[in-house]
Structure formats: C-alpha cells, structure tokens
Amino acid sequence: MKAIALTKYLPINNPESLVDIELEMPHPINRDLLVKVDAISVNPVDTKIRAPKPQVEETPKILGWDACGTVVSVGEGVSLFQEGDKVFYAGDITRSGSNAEFQLIDERIVGRAPSSLSIEQSAAVPLTALTAWEALIDRLGISLDGSFTSPTQVQSNKSILIIGGAGGVGSIAIQIASQLAGLKVIATASTAESLAWCEELGADHVINHYHEMPTQLMDLGISDCDYILCCNNTDMHFDTMVEVIKPQGKICSIVDNTKPLELQKLKAKSATFVWEFMFTRAKFQTEDMIEQHHILNEVARLLDEGVFKPTLKETLSPINAENLRLAHEKVEAGNMIGKLVISGW
C-alpha cells in the first residue's frame, strides 16, 4: 500500500522530511477496523511531531490524525461497524497514522461519517471536533441542552472567550458554545477574513488577540468571562487570561507552554486551569475511551442536521509527499482559517 512517512525529523522545505513509500497491507484483530483512507487533514500536532530533532526512526514513521474512509475488514471483536461503513476519526498518537492508503484503528474512537458531507468535509472534522467537545464539556464542565437539535439559551447569562477562534478547534468550539450551550461567545481573530469567519460560525463578538484584550472586552461591556478556551499561544496569553477570567471561572488550553505558568496567580480567584489533549483516552486506554465514538456520531448528526457548519477551507489532491509537505508548510505558518484536507490517491 502507498504511504507517506519519515525516518529523519527535518525542516519541511527539505524533500526528505516526508517521503512516499510502499508498505505491506495491515490486518485487523480484536477491536480494530481496517479502513481504506480516502481523505486526510493536517493539524498542528502533525507539524509539532515532525519538527526537526536529532532522533532517527529505524522503521518509517507514518503521521496523520484525521481521516475519512471506508471500512474494508474488521477484527473478531468488532461490534460497532461492518465492511462498507463510511467512517471518520482522529486516531491514536501511539499508533501508525492516517497518511497511508489503509489504516488500522480501534472502533471505540471511530464515528460514522456525516452522510450529507463530502469525504473532504468529513476528514476536516474529527480531531478538532473531539478537542473542542472535550475541552468545553469534559474539561470546562459546560452544560449542553440534552436534545442537541437547536440553539438553546441554557446559559445565555454566561460567557466564553475563545482565543484563536478562526483555527480548526476554535471553529468548532464557537459552534458548540453558541449553538448548543447558549453562551455569549467572544472569539479572537487577527485579520478581516478570520474575523468574518468567526462571526459566520456564531461568535457574538470578535476581538483581536494581538491588541489589549481586557480593554476590548470592557469596550463591549464585558468585565470578565466565565470560561476561557485558549487555542493560541498559552505563554503569550496567560496573564491576560488570569486578568479576564471571572472569580471561580475555568480556563482550558490546548496549546503547550514553553515556560512555567504561574498558576499561583489564579489562587485569589479560585479559578481552574486545565489541559485538553485529545489523544489521552486512546493513549491510556481509559475506561471511557468509547466516548469518542459517541462524540463523533453526535457531531456527524449535528452536521447532517445543519446545526454545525463544515470547517473545510482548502483541498489539495492527490495524497502524496509533495502535497503533504505543502500542507505542513501552510499549517506551520500559523495563520490557518478552518481546515485543509488532502484527498485521493
């Protein structure tokens, strides 16, 4: 089967950073599905793992944690899917990734792909939807209307600040917060295009995260926020988050820090700081690992019913090393709006 892999961790402009290879076809056992991959998406995690370092892999390493495809065979323990099912998933960081023609994936972290979306639109969703959903519901404890079928005013008196609203995770988080939780959503963006994108997805207000955010919030009549989701530069925004979080509020970040965070600053407000890492459930085989199956199925339904809007912004074809290097380069630039997908072999 075709695949794109690395053995050395090189700058993306080096043609050896990601290369086309041929591998033997894998075979499913236990709860694994064998999926024929039709479309993949690239996320910041791909570029971070591929970033230059001295390490050398003895066998080719396949990255990729977003895919839409078709189940072609199943392991003996599979009960949720069968051959021919169209699926989408983000995957498991401890296993071989989706940058291959065929991939083994545990059924508990796989969902049924939205029936109304193209394979490209579907491939853009899983990692960002899981991250946003887990961040808002599991980590921040935000309540949702049980029906999930229409906008709700469950918490219209509460607010959330989403820093980096135009990126992949922010694009889904805005929709969950506004359409399902009824929160007042303040997103941040830095260009006219990204500002318009956040408003289109349902943000009530959009401010610029490169300018003084507390001042911009005060201009909107907002002194503090009940929740904050940081999708952009935790180090740069930490002090601002401390300043604008409401007493007893909650902050979640998905972005690694590069220096120690002064959590003591949150003590006076009894504020919570928590991380979201989408791969935790699969990596540690948690008892609730199957929750990602349920989340993806719910997200697919919301997309099919038009409650959520697709976040795909750009498509490349075919899936090969040249296009994957180009996709990594675009993501590394740090100014992505929505998602980029590569489809077809």
pLDDT number for residue 157: 84
Domain boundary at 215, 247, 275, which?
275
334 has pLDDT over 90: no
Domain count, the chain: 2
Tell me which residue range forms the domain holding 32: 2-125+280-343
Whether residues 164 and 260 fall in one domain: yes
What is the mean predicted confidence (pLDDT) over 225-253? 97
Whether residues 52 and 150 fall in one domain: no
| Strand (E) or helix (H) holding 312 | strand 312-316
pLDDT number for residue 156: 59
Two tokens, residue 266? 């949150």
Q: What is the rounded CA–CA span in Å between residue 274 and residue 254? A: 9
Let me know: does 89 contact 109? Beta carbons within 8 Å: yes
Whether residues 215 and 304 fall in one domain: no
Q: What is the rounded CA–CA span in Å between residue 323 and residue 327? A: 6
CATH of the domain at 179: 3.40.50.720
Domain boundary at 225, 252, 275, which?
275
Whether residues 87 and 62 fall in one domain: yes
Whether residues 92 and 164 fall in one domain: no
**Residue that wins the pLDDT comparison between 195 and 149:** 195
What is the mean predicted confidence (pLDDT) over 216-229? 97
In sequence order, the 6+-apart residues with CB closer than 8 A to the CB of 160 are 136, 142, 177, 183, 184, 185, 186, 225, 226, 227, 228, 229
Whether residues 175 and 303 fall in one domain: no
Whether residues 266 and 139 fall in one domain: yes
**Residue that wins the pLDDT comparison between 152 and 31:** 31
pLDDT digit string (tens) for 38-87? Answer: 999 999 999 999 999 999 999 999 999 999 999 999 999 999 999 999 99
Whether residues 49 and 143 fall in one domain: no
Whether residues 270 and 333 fall in one domain: no
Whether residues 165 and 218 fall in one domain: yes
CATH of the domain at 18: 3.90.180.10
Let me know: does 19 contact 62? Beta carbons within 8 Å: no
pLDDT number for residue 134: 98
Two tokens, residue 275? 């991380």
Whether residues 14 and 117 fall in one domain: yes
Domain boundary at 275, 290, 316, which?
275
What is the mean predicted confidence (pLDDT) over 323-335? 95
Q: How far is CA 67 from CA 37, 84, 91, 127, in A?
A: 7, 16, 8, 9
Whether residues 260 and 142 fall in one domain: yes
What is the mean predicted confidence (pLDDT) over 237-242? 98
Coil, helix or strand for 284?
A: coil
Two tokens, residue 63? 């990255």
pLDDT digit string (tens) for 111-158? Answer: 999 999 999 999 999 999 999 999 999 999 998 864 444 444 445 589
Return the percentage of the chain with pLDDT > 70, whole number. Answer: 97
Two tokens, residue 333? 């630039």
pLDDT digit string (tens) for 1-14? Answer: 999 999 999 999 99
What is the mean predicted confidence (pLDDT) over 319-343? 95
Q: What is the rounded CA–CA span in Å between residue 228 and residue 256? A: 16
